[in-house]
Structure 1
Amino acid sequence: MALRYIPMSTDQAERLRQGGNDAYGNPPERQISDGDGVPCRHCLGNVDAGDTYLIFALRPFTSLQPYAETGPVFMHADECPAYSDEVRPPILTSSKDYLLRGYGSNERIIYGTGGVVPAEQLESRAEALLSMPEVASVHVRSAKNNCYQCRIERP
């Protein structure tokens, strides 16, 4: 099964770059990247050393409900293209493991789907979760800090 890696929306990225508020109602913070561990949630690449990036609270869900987790993420401060490939994005190549969790079409966790998987098993675990009829999407998070990375869907 091919996988689709879904970044945050371009509309949301542009709104934040223009000074719009994040999921907690705050404007994004601007920082300069040291080039280490600054993954952009829009292009799904890393922010290079010396480049400006934004830190903000992201809630990668369309509705407010108990399972709609919110947390800190990074994004290039300057325009970057939204990720649109079916190969593993660069931000999912820098850790030895990731937390994957299946969600239903109602954006609620499907219990029993969550777990930390080694990086080399990311695709096979995502495919296994997406083969379950009740799983509509898989969220990938940092295994160390629980930060949201991206969503994976069926093509």
Structure 2
Amino acid sequence: MEDSLDKIDYKLLRLLQQDGRMSNAELADKVNISPATCHRRLDRLFKSDAIQSVRAIVAPNKVDLSSLVIVGVVLDRSTPESFAEFEQAIVTMPVIIDCQLVAGEFDYFLRIRVKDMADFNQLHASQLLSLPGVRQIRTFFVMKEVVDNGTLAF
């Protein structure tokens, strides 16, 4: 299977990032190819993991999760075992919407959606402080989301 992407593939990806509900016929029309060719290309993009999934972006305030919190985590040891143990615990917590291993002052950044500050305080006391290997946690409450779930620019 050919893994390189061409101009049409990139255009399809950009269009789907803008509107994941666009039909195959609409996509085909916008990139000037037949619906059958479009379907084959999309199938190839899924199989090659260029498109990892298609899902709805839910408005957090509509499901009572309007507070976004970013948490910087410093582990007590920088060993592969401590990183693995921390990551194994994090992936079991559905409240964590993103977790990145980073270089610099922190080891990890977590993005967490909660109802409000009281909700976060309960989570902090009951789960975050007991994560394995954690030496320090710094919390940042997001006051305004300027860009969220932006599309990839390519």
More strand by share: 1
TM-score (normalizing by structure 1): 0.25
Larger Rg: 2
Higher helix share: 2
With the length of structure 2 as denominator, give the TM-score of the two structures.
0.25
